[in-house]
Structure 1
Amino acid sequence: MKLLPLFLTILWLLNVNSQEIAILKYNGGGDWYANPTALPNLIRFCNQNIDTEIEPKPQTVEVGSTEIFQYPFLHMTGHGNVFFTEDEADNLRTYLLSGGFVHIDDNYGMEPYLRKELNKVFPDKEFVEIGADHAIFTTQYEFPKGLPKIHEHDGKRPQALGIFHENRLVLLFTYESDLGDGWEDPEVHNDSEQVRLKALQMGANIIHYAFKN
């Protein structure tokens, strides 16, 4: 019997009702710390509008740490390289299969590195594009066209890509949308209030979905 995964599952079950979220710190040189005002603003929006009681300051946890099991929701972002060791990939897989949820928001440029590393986490799974009829687009706010476009970057259409386990969405990758930039303080990117509101509402949908599923 593998005692470590059993211990982690028990730790997860003890914390499943927690309303804390954390930023996922990874290796490889990518700026995991990007968008420092984004999550605090999203947390404030959720607490004010969808009846969550999330701790105002998100914590930071490393991919390979057992501390990730204290959080039902992990957020990951950045612009560049991502690297997981085999132990880190195993830890993240155990977390996700035990009921955890990860939202990865491409801040621009991390997609090719991320795909390679997620193959270590789930070598038998691939990204599936999430259609506009999925519950994540209606759980609190309506997005009839699916993932909103917040920043242009390469001008490609926004995509919500997911990894599922036993019909549960365990990992969401938002690509060519850049929700996190829309969550930041207004003066950081000078986005309009309308654009920021769309980003925050979509973020609230993601948070609500992760907490309820």
Structure 2
Amino acid sequence: MAATLAVQGGRAPGAPLGIARLHYGGGGDWYANPSSLPNLLGAIREQTLLRVAERERVVQLTEPDLWETPYLYMTGHGNVHFTELEVGTLRRFLEQGGFLHADDNYGMDESFRREIARVFPDHPLTEVSLNHPVYRVVHAFPQGLPKIHEHDGLPAQGFGVFLGDRLAVYYSYQSDLGDGWEDPDVHGDPEPVRQAALRMGVNLFVYAVTGTR
């Protein structure tokens, strides 16, 4: 039952599912990749039977709208900082069935790891196994998280915070999915790379809203 709380939230019955972009403090560019989430929502409409919103909403952790979203997304290149109130609120949101996708846009890694450890000091980030449903719920990714941009040349890795057997936080590291979701002319990524990023995003969203095990 808990896994459905954040999906239902204050959303009106029959209202479309959506994505919320997290407006966090600390100075990082939480607003990065403005065309990414509308494109991901479009891919979800095309590739699933889910009814979803046209655009994302922007939320802060202290706002009631947080509880209406099944998929909370954060990205950026810089520093992330949560207040003590925000730490507690995010913990409750995730414990009550919410899902957070943190997408390192090259530069967020150190501060995100620090802040998520404040949220769940007893649940460290661990690498998500390749047989996890998030890599096959709609599209098959036998090698795991796709590599979208090179950056340091390190392999793409998907890390997670598990609450019981539920993946509550997914952290895409050294991949840059959000760049792959942007309009084609923004980064000039080859179309197969863009499509891989979008398909992975579809998997993440479907996992978040269905609780697939």
Matched, 1:69 2:56: no
* CA distance in 1: counterparts of 2:7 and 2:65, whole angstroms: 9
TM norm structure 1: 0.92
- 2:145 and 2:6 map into 1 onto residues whose CA distance is 34
Question: Is contact 2:7-2:209 (8 Å) kept?
Answer: no
- For the aligned residue pairs, the C-alpha RMSD in angstroms reads 1.7
Counterpart residue number, 2:55 = 57
Equivalent residue, structure 2, for 1:168: 166
Letter in 2 for 1:89: V
Query: How far 1:22 sits from its partner (Å)?
Result: 0.7
% same residue: 45
C-alpha contact (below 8 Å) 2:7/2:69 kept by paired residues: no
Deviations, residues 9-57 of structure 1 (Å, cap 9, x unaligned) = 7996444976121101100000000000000000001101112211111
- Report if aligned partners of 2:123, 2:161 keep a CA contact under 8 Å in 1: yes
Distance 1:153 1:88 in 2: 30
Using the alignment, how far apart are the partners of 1:94 and 1:15 within structure 2?
A: 18
Taking a change above 3 Å as real, the CA distance of residues 81 and 136 of structure 1, as seen in their structure-2 partners, is same
Q: Deviations over 1:61-83 (max 9, x none)?
A: 00222321011111100001000
Q: How far apart are residue 120 of structure 1 and its match?
A: 1.6
Q: Is the 8 A contact 1:64 1:89 kept in 2?
A: no
Separation of aligned partners in 2, 1:11 and 1:137? 21
Indicate yes or no: 2:23 matched with 1:25.
Answer: yes
Consecutive unaligned residues of structure 1, counting only runs of 5 or more, are 1-8
Residue in 2 aligned with 1:122? 120
Aligned partner of residue 162 in structure 2, secondary structure = strand
1:38 has 2:36 as partner: yes
Partner SS for 1:148: coil
**Whole-Å separation in 1 of the counterparts to 2:22 and 2:85:** 15
Q: Is the 8 A contact 1:65 1:91 kept in 2?
A: no
Separation in structure 2 between the aligned mates of residue 63 and residue 101 of structure 1, nearest angstrom: 13
Q: Distance in 2 between matches of 1:26 and 1:13?
A: 21
How far off its partner does 1:167 sit?
Answer: 1.1
Listed one character per residue, the Cα deviations across residues 148-183 of structure 1 (whole Å, up to 9, x for unaligned) are 000000000111000011210000000000000000
Residue equivalent to 2:208: 210
- How much does 1:124 deviate? 1.2
Residue aligned with 1:197, SS:
helix
Distance 1:110 1:166, change over 3 A: same
1:151 aligns with 2:149: yes
Which residue does the alignment assign to 1:4? none
**Contact kept? 2:6, 2:93, Cα under 8 Å:** no
Q: Distance in 1 between matches of 2:36 and 2:6?
A: 31
Q: Give the total of aligned pairs.
A: 205
* Aligned partner of residue 94 in structure 2, secondary structure: helix
Unpaired segments ≥5 residues, structure 2: none
> Over residues 87-144 of structure 1, what are the superposed CA-to-partner deviations in whole Å (9 max), with x where a residue is unaligned?
0010000100011001010000101001111122111110010111111000000101
Larger mean CA deviation between 34-43 and 60-69 belongs to 60-69
TM-score if structure 2 supplies the norm length? 0.92
